[in-house]
Chain A
Amino acid sequence: MTLETYLKTAIKGLYGRKKLEVRTEIEGNIKELALEYQISGLNQTQALEKAILEFGEARALSAAMVKVHTMPKMIKAIFLAGLISSAALVGVSSSLAEILTSSVGIYKNCTTDEPHFDSSCVQPQSWMKLADFSADIGKAGGTFKLHTANSRILSFSVTFPGDHAIDIAYNRLPEKLDPEVAQKHDGWFKKDNEIWVNLSYTLEQIARYSFLDVIFEGWENPKLHVGKTVLNLTTGNDGTVAYYTYFYSAITDIFYPSSIDTFVIDPPISGVEANRQDRSIRKFKHQLKVNDKPGTIYAVFTQVQSKANSELNRQPVSTGLISIAPVAADGTITVWLNEPTFEFVSSLAKTEWKLKTPNFSPAALLKLNGRLDSKAPKTEIVIPANPKSIAK
């Protein structure tokens, strides 16, 4: 049975938003389970088949879900019908709770000055004992806090004085996984009662990439402090400033999508070849024609969704970033995405928003920040009434 068939059967009898919700949930979990099997050595097809099988009978799932979600409503409807027929009209209103999917998690950093071995920016030498890592954080004046280390997830946070905590989560790798193979994957495992974790961050990186309160300190010193822990900071090779984060589709209703005029890859070689040549940094160059006055500053929000991001899971992954760049003499903006992802280039889907910021200020990003952080007070969110009026 294919995943699509399974999902269709599993949500049969459900309607509207609930149908979509259940489908999303089941699909996400099946894919996660399939990933486990892939890590264990099965190929993608086998892994997916096995995961579907483990989920059990789709029709039974559907029947149980229908019972949970539609039976009470049917009973209510029958009750209401009785009321209507016997007495006056009853007004029925329904409200749908908003599904907030805007939680932001920053999973990993990709720096532009270090070699990377795969799309997860994992470096073999970054495996270390969690206890040692924790001790190092302490020596550096930070605080390490372990949240969870269960059969699936290891999560912890690191805080340095004056900064917000960096929350990090890793999937547990099978213990039988070959250490050589494990090195290529992000995650953690337990060996001899010690937790080993593949840290994409070195201690120095953590200190450097801590998430700060927003004050934009200018081009020479590209620090951007954002009120909440949302954006990560790095500097592109061309001097533009990019703020990496995973921000999914939360901003789609703020900035209108536009087409990308050109999308080139530099260097023009395959990712594998780039890696072999130790030229592992791939740069994706975006050129947007805005025909605006040269020197006008734009903040360009880009979301790149790969259909097959890593060699490990082949699952869609969204990566977002914000780049700030001036309009060139020919009326274009050039943005470089320094993205060390290799094999998925041909399957990239691109969505892009641009916000004209003649006088760029942190407030522009604060708007975004407020929208992204579901816990931020709603009053901080300023959604332009007509996005097109500010984006040319």
Chain B
Amino acid sequence: MDANLLKGNLDLILLSILEESEMYGLEITKEAQDRTGGYFSFSIGSLYPALHRLEQAGFIKGEFRPAPRGGSPVKFYQLTETGGKELKARKGEFDQFYNAVKSLWGKNLRGAS
């Protein structure tokens, strides 16, 4: 997929994934890949700056906890109340954008027929 498209919607993607349950970085990557059939496949390292940015904005909060198998701790992220509102707003924006683009395509198709 177009990297810019992914970059432009990364926050929405991350907030959407964390909407269901708290996860740590690696889980988020896997979840994104699994739920989109591999469509969202980004280098794992690129995820962390985005997560930290969202945390600074107060949309998610992180907490260090032991990894599921013990060993080095990992940071689990969860959506905050503000993050939930932000996600709702961004979903709305995205829907609007998507519908607007779709309506353009509809017009073209009609014109072509």
Binding site for B on A (CB under 8 A): 10, 21-22, 24-29, 31-33, 35, 54-58, 60-61, 64-65, 67-69, 72, 99-101, 103, 105, 107, 147-148, 150-153, 169-171, 186, 246, 248, 309, 312-313, 315-318
Contacts and interface: CB of A to CB of B under 8 A. Distances in A.
Contacts of B56: 68, 72
Interface residues of B, number: 33
B87 to A, nearest CB: 18
B94 interface: no
A60 B71 contact: no
30 contacts: A22-B48, A28-B67, A28-B74, A28-B75, A29-B24, A29-B25, A31-B72, A32-B67, A32-B69, A54-B43, A55-B43, A61-B46, A61-B48, A65-B48, A68-B53, A69-B52, A101-B64, A101-B65, A101-B73, A150-B27, A151-B27, A152-B31, A153-B23, A169-B68, A171-B68, A171-B69, A248-B66, A312-B69, A315-B69, A315-B72
B69 A313 contact: yes
Nearest to B26: A29
Interface in B26-46: 26-27, 30-31, 33-34, 43-46
B95 interface: no
Interface in B50-107: 52-53, 56, 63-75
Contacts of A147: 21
Given A28-B75, A171-B69, A151 B30 contact: yes
A153 B66 contact: no
B7 to A, nearest CB: 11
A65 B49 contact: yes
Nearest to B68: A171
B25 A105 contact: no
B65 A152 contact: no
Nearest to A317: B70
Contacts of B31: 150-152
Contacts of B72: 24, 27-28, 31, 315-316
B5 to A, nearest CB: 18
Residue picked from B30, B53, B72, most chain A C-beta under 10 Å: B72
Contact of A151 (B25, B34, B44, B65): B34
A240 to B, nearest CB: 25
A169 B66 CA distance: 12
